[in-house]
Structures are given as structure tokens and as C-alpha cells.
Chain A
Amino acid sequence: MTSTAVPIERPRPRRAAGNARAPHPAFYLVLVVLFAFALGPIVIFLFNSLRTQSQLATDPLGFPTHPQWHNFLDAWRQASMGAGFVNSAVIVAGTAAGVCVIAGCAAYAMSRLELPGVGSAMAYLLISTALPVQLFLVPLFFLWTRLGLYDTLIGLIIIYWAIFSPFATLLLRSFMISVPRDYDDAARIDGASEWGVLFRIILPIAWPGFLTVALVASLSAYNEFLLAVTFIQTNDRMPISTTFFSFQQGYTQNYALISASGVIMLAPMVALFLLLQRRFVDGITAAGLGG
């Protein structure tokens, strides 16, 4: 960097920068290979969901020349996915709403109310996000059995609240800190209560943060497996993830139908992701960059 003394006035820098940014054809080759790695298995899965079991056996990776659309209906019925979706809807809605309320209140206290001991609260939240489920799984199971929360939707929702809230709080706190303090001070002088400030001032400005938190919590709750399989036993109460799991592990060896039910399960989340791509990516990136 220091060895070349290129005069700044010369037009070379622009060209050089252009050169550096123009991708080599090999770039595209690698990108396309990765593209195929990411999408290929899903496409094959989709194809399989439209074929018959015997076609799968003779030609594993073939194209569905005669799409068997009824596979989806059969899979829906045989795997009792309707009940699974209803349960998942309850779990996802309850989790997202609860996490927004719990984390929203906590983030408000930490960013706005001069919480005494805010430093230790932050440290505790950071530790909580790093504690593995495995540490508390075993006693929690027996505690939930004793409290009558085992094998209930609300029991699972409460666990999700506890697990997703620490990270959501840290994320919402960073959103709320960016709201100018003058706004809520003005509202307080006008006689607004703390609830009033939270709902009328902070929420309207920090709502993208809440939407991100709700999306990430929904995705996590919808896809979650370890806790769902541990804490829900009765078939009628299973969320879609364990409904699908028991169908797949069950007596049926019909991979066409298993594929069809898998496609049904992943469709809503993929659709939601394509719709709200930006917001998903923001939330997930925040998680990856450490909140």
C-alpha cells in the first residue's frame, strides 16, 4: 500500500477499482455450484412429492412427468397435518406475542427507566443466551410434569418465551436506544404514564424492531424440534414439526407422501421469508453479529 506513490489526480484509481469489482467468470461458476447445492435438494424433494413410490424406486432423481397432485391431499390426511398446523399456529402466535411483550417491557426498562443494576441485568441476559438447553432440560421436564405443564401447548409456549426473550430484549434495547429521549421526556411532561410513553412514543418508532423479533421468534418456534419432541406427547397436541417427524418415523415407507408432507410444512415459512426477506435477514444478521 505504501510502496506505490500513485498521483491521486490520475484517472487510474477508478479503472483499477472497476477491475477489482468486475467478477471473473470463475466467480460465477463457484456461485452457481453453491446455488445448486442450496436449491438442488429442495427441488428434488419437490419432484419426489409429485411422483409415486414405485417411480422413486426405479429412478431416484427423475422429473415428475405425471405430477401426482393428490399426494398432497393424501399426505395431509394421513399425517393429520391439519391438527399440526392449528397447534403450530397457536404456538407461533403465542410465542411471538409473548416474546414481544416480555422483551419489549424489559428492553424499555433497560433503555429508558434507569433500571438499577442495568449492567448486571445485561450480563445476565448475555449469559442466558449462551446457556444450553441441555443444562436445564432434564429438571425442567420433571418440573413441568409436576406443574401439569407437560404435554400442554402453554407449557411449551412458556419455555419458548424464556428461551427467546433474552436475545429479543438485547435486540429491542438497541432499537429503543436509538429513539431520541426528548420525545418521551416531552410526553412525560404532558402527563403521560410509563405505559403511555411505551405505547404511544416508543412502539410507533421502534416497531421494525418488534416485527423483526416477532419474525425470528415465529421462525424459531415453528421449526423448533428438541423441546417440542420432549414436551409434547399426545398426537392431537403436536406442533407441525413433530407431527411431520412422527409421520416420517412411522410405519409408512412411502417417500413420495413423506416428501409431500415435508413440502406442505416448509411452504408457509418459505413464502413468509420471500415476502419479508429483508426483515428476516436483518434479524438473523443481528443474531450472527452478536446482537
Chain B
Amino acid sequence: MAFSGGATTTADPVTPVFPARRADVGRRRAKRRRGLIAWLFMLPLVAVNLLVIAGPGVMSLYYSFTDWTGIGAANFIGFDNYRKMFHDNAFGEAFLHNVWWTIFFLIIPMSMGLFGAFLLSRLRRFLTLFRVVYFIPYIVASVVSASIWQNLLSPEHGIGKLLGVNFLGNGSTALASVAVVNTWSWWGFLVIVFLAAMQAVNPSLYEASALDGANSWQQFWHVTLPSIRPTLMFLGLMTIIWSFLVFDYIYILTQGGPAGATEVLSTLQYRDAFENQQAGYAASIGVVLALISGIVVGAYQMLRRRRGWEI
């Protein structure tokens, strides 16, 4: 209301010909002024967003149709970069590794998070202690977590030496080893979020099912899981998206090796952009990654709307 005051008092009492119209104009002007001020408050966000995300995002789309090396001019080559992906073995392998990673993360960390949270939701004592400890790996920086596990898995000093396995250096164990390391830093987050969702479940549901003689396992399947479905779906969606974008642990622990055994789309893109002078091709990989996120989010939104799931 503060901004409409000035406009309405100028309504001239001598000319009452179109009083309603004049007040209307004043109100509209005041409204426009308020809208302008509101957008002024949005300006910092819009500015950095355009500069960092939207602008370069659109540039990526443009460069994905060029043979840009990163320096000099970019020539338009149509869909060649996208066509190249279909025949590029490195791309295909990396994509399959991402799919493998997605399945792994939908199964292992998800079930650890679910069971951990379910057990914690039953606890009456030490709840805070367990929750804090489970969460600590999540706040450890990826560079440090990677180093912790590099030590542990090392064939020279660590479990690797005791078991005689070169976890990260062997093509058949490397990807799974990196996934375990990433799981270690990730699952505590899932516990915390699932626990928050489980604590919001109506306790009378548990009491009623206990009366029916349901044991803990049955309660987990028939009460807890259906009750936290929105959270479960949301984290499942996030897991899929993040699995296609995974970068840190692979880049730090194996750089995609040995011999491409742990190469994923992000590390492939990084190498193409900054080592192989294939910025155009790298941009097209970025566009594909964004498309994958977009498709997953779109499918999720559609499911939500059609089946009425609320977050």
C-alpha cells in the first residue's frame, strides 16, 4: 500500500468526469511500480544466473553444433557431434558405466539409508549419537574421503595389502570400489532424510498394525514404505540424476582408468573439453546430460500429476 498513496492523492477533485477511470490509471501505475520494485529485488539473482547458468547453457547448445576446439572460430557442423556419439565406443562405454552406477545407487545406498533410518526410528536412546556419526561422512569433502579410501584400499598399505587385491588398479574391481567409496560418503544423507520422513508418519498406524500382529519387518513393508513414498520417489529421482552426473570420486580416484574401466560421461566430457581440444563435442555431451536430467524430472512431474503424489 505504501506505493499507491502518492498516485491516488493526485486524483483531481475538480474534474469528476471519469473518476473511476482516473483511479484505475493510478492504481495500475502503482501496481506497475510495485512490480518494478519487486523485480529490482530479483535483479542480483537474475544477473548471476544469466551470467553463469543460462547464458553459458545456451552457448553450450550452440557450440554442440560446432567443431569448436576451445580456441578460435567455431564452424557449424549440424548434428555431427551427436551422430559421432552413437559411433563413439568411449561414449557408449561411459554411458553404460553411468547406467551401472545408477542401478548400484538405487539398490545399495538406498537400502542402507532406508534400513538405517528405520532402525533409528525405533531407537529410544542414543538416537542423536547414531545420527551424528552416520552423517559425518557426508560432510567430509570428496577429496578427503577419496584419500581416506585410497589409503584403505591401497595394495601397498591397507586392506588391499591384507587381501592381496588391487581394488582401484584392477579393471574388474575399480568401478565397484569407487562406487563403495561414494556410497560411504552418501548413504548418511539418505538416512537423515528418510528418518525425517519416517518421524512424520502417524504413530497410530504402527500401533494398529502391531495390534494385528505385524512384526517389524511387515511394518516396514506395509506401513513405513507406503507412508514415505513421496520422499522415496524424490530421492530415487535425485539418485538417477546424480548418477549420470557423478564426477568427483571417479576423477580423484581413478581418472577414468584403468584403461577406461571407470570412465563416465562427466569425466569423458572433462577430458574432451580441457585435454583433447574438443570443446564442441564436450558441449554436446553436456547437452545430453542436461537432457537426461530433464527427461527424469519430466517423467517424475508427470507421475506426480497423474497419480497425485505430493512432495
For the complex, give the distance between the alpha carbons of A34 and B115 in Å.
Answer: 10
Interchain CB contact under 8 A, B56 and A290: no
Q: Find chain B residues with CB under 8 A from A158 CB.
A: 48, 51-52
Binds A, one of B15-23, B166-174, B188-196: B188-196
Interchain CB contact under 8 A, A162 and B123: no
Binds A, one of B75-83, B87-95, B99-107, B202-210: B202-210
B245 in the interface (beta carbon within 8 A): yes
Instruction: Tell me, rounded to whole Å, the shortest Cβ–Cβ distance linking B294 to chain A.
Output: 8
Interchain CB contact under 8 A, B141 and A21: no
For the complex, give the distance between the alpha carbons of A273 and B30 in Å.
Answer: 47
For the complex, give the distance between the alpha carbons of A141 and B112 in Å.
Answer: 38
**Cross-chain contact of B37 among A16, A113, A142 (Cβ < 8 A):** A113
A116 in the interface (beta carbon within 8 A): yes
Interchain CB contact under 8 A, B34 and A245: no
Question: 1/0 contact trace for A184-201 toward B, CB 8 Å?
Answer: 010011011110000000
B269 in the interface (beta carbon within 8 A): yes
A37 in the interface (beta carbon within 8 A): yes
Question: 1/0 contact trace for B145-158 toward A, CB 8 Å?
Answer: 00111111010111
A205 in the interface (beta carbon within 8 A): no
A-B contacts counted at CB < 8 A amount to: 307
A121 in the interface (beta carbon within 8 A): yes
B227 in the interface (beta carbon within 8 A): no
B231 in the interface (beta carbon within 8 A): yes
- Closest chain A residue, CB of each to CB of B151: A255
- Closest chain A residue, CB of each to CB of B280: A138
**Cross-chain contact of A169 among B45, B124, B132, B161 (Cβ < 8 A):** B45
For the complex, give the distance between the alpha carbons of A7 and B123 in Å.
Answer: 29
Q: Find chain A residues with CB under 8 A from B190 CB.
A: 288
Instruction: Tell me, rounded to whole Å, the shortest Cβ–Cβ distance linking B182 to chain A.
Output: 13
Interchain CB contact under 8 A, B35 and A114: yes
Interchain CB contact under 8 A, B245 and A132: yes
Interchain CB contact under 8 A, A41 and B148: yes
Q: Find chain A residues with CB under 8 A from B206 CB.
A: 17, 20-21
Interchain CB contact under 8 A, B41 and A113: yes
Binds B, one of A63-71, A100-108, A206-214: A100-108
Interchain CB contact under 8 A, A131 and B57: yes
For the complex, give the distance between the alpha carbons of A233 and B132 in Å.
Answer: 35
B197 in the interface (beta carbon within 8 A): yes
Interchain CB contact under 8 A, A194 and B210: no
Q: Find chain A residues with CB under 8 A from B203 CB.
A: 17
Interchain CB contact under 8 A, B266 and A134: yes
Question: 1/0 contact trace for A61-90 toward B, CB 8 Å?
Answer: 100000000000000000000000000000
With A16-B210, A130-B241, A139-B63 as contacts: A41 and B290 at CB distance below 8 Å: no
Q: Find chain A residues with CB under 8 A from B35 CB.
A: 114-116
With A4-B212, A21-B124 as contacts: A241 and B141 at CB distance below 8 Å: yes
Majority-rule SS of A interface residues: helix
Q: Find chain A residues with CB under 8 A from B282 CB.
A: 138
For the complex, give the distance between the alpha carbons of A84 and B250 in Å.
Answer: 23
For the complex, give the distance between the alpha carbons of A257 and B311 in Å.
Answer: 46
For the complex, give the distance between the alpha carbons of A266 and B145 in Å.
Answer: 9
For the complex, give the distance between the alpha carbons of A192 and B150 in Å.
Answer: 58
For the complex, give the distance between the alpha carbons of A41 and B181 in Å.
Answer: 10
B110 in the interface (beta carbon within 8 A): no
Interchain CB contact under 8 A, A185 and B1: yes
- Closest chain B residue, CB of each to CB of A59: B157
**Cross-chain contact of B144 among A34, A57, A114, A244 (Cβ < 8 A):** A244
**Cross-chain contact of A136 among B60, B140, B212 (Cβ < 8 A):** B60
For the complex, give the distance between the alpha carbons of A198 and B306 in Å.
Answer: 39
**Cross-chain contact of B59 among A27, A143, A185 (Cβ < 8 A):** A143
**Cross-chain contact of A143 among B38, B55, B136 (Cβ < 8 A):** B55
Instruction: Tell me, rounded to whole Å, the shortest Cβ–Cβ distance linking A171 to chain B.
Output: 13
**30 contacting pairs across A/B (C-beta < 8 A):** A12-B211, A16-B210, A21-B124, A31-B120, A38-B133, A38-B188, A106-B45, A108-B41, A128-B49, A132-B293, A134-B269, A138-B56, A138-B279, A138-B283, A139-B60, A139-B283, A163-B52, A165-B49, A223-B139, A223-B140, A225-B248, A258-B147, A265-B141, A266-B144, A269-B140, A270-B136, A280-B135, A284-B189, A285-B192, A288-B192
- The interface centre, meaning the residue of B2, B266, B282 with most chain A CB atoms within 10 A of its CB, is B2
With A108-B41, A115-B39, A116-B39 as contacts: A288 and B193 at CB distance below 8 Å: yes
Interchain CB contact under 8 A, A161 and B136: no
For the complex, give the distance between the alpha carbons of A181 and B63 in Å.
Answer: 47
Interchain CB contact under 8 A, B148 and A45: yes
Q: Which 10 A-B pairs have the closest CB atoms?
A: A288-B193, A162-B52, A113-B38, A136-B56, A109-B41, A139-B59, A223-B141, A20-B210, A139-B56, A135-B290
**Cross-chain contact of B143 among A20, A116, A139, A225 (Cβ < 8 A):** A225
**Cross-chain contact of A135 among B131, B197, B287 (Cβ < 8 A):** B287
With A137-B273, A162-B51 as contacts: A39 and B193 at CB distance below 8 Å: no
B residues 268-291 with Cβ under 8 Å of A?
269-270, 273-274, 279, 282-283, 285-287, 289-290
Q: Find chain B residues with CB under 8 A from A166 CB.
A: 45, 49
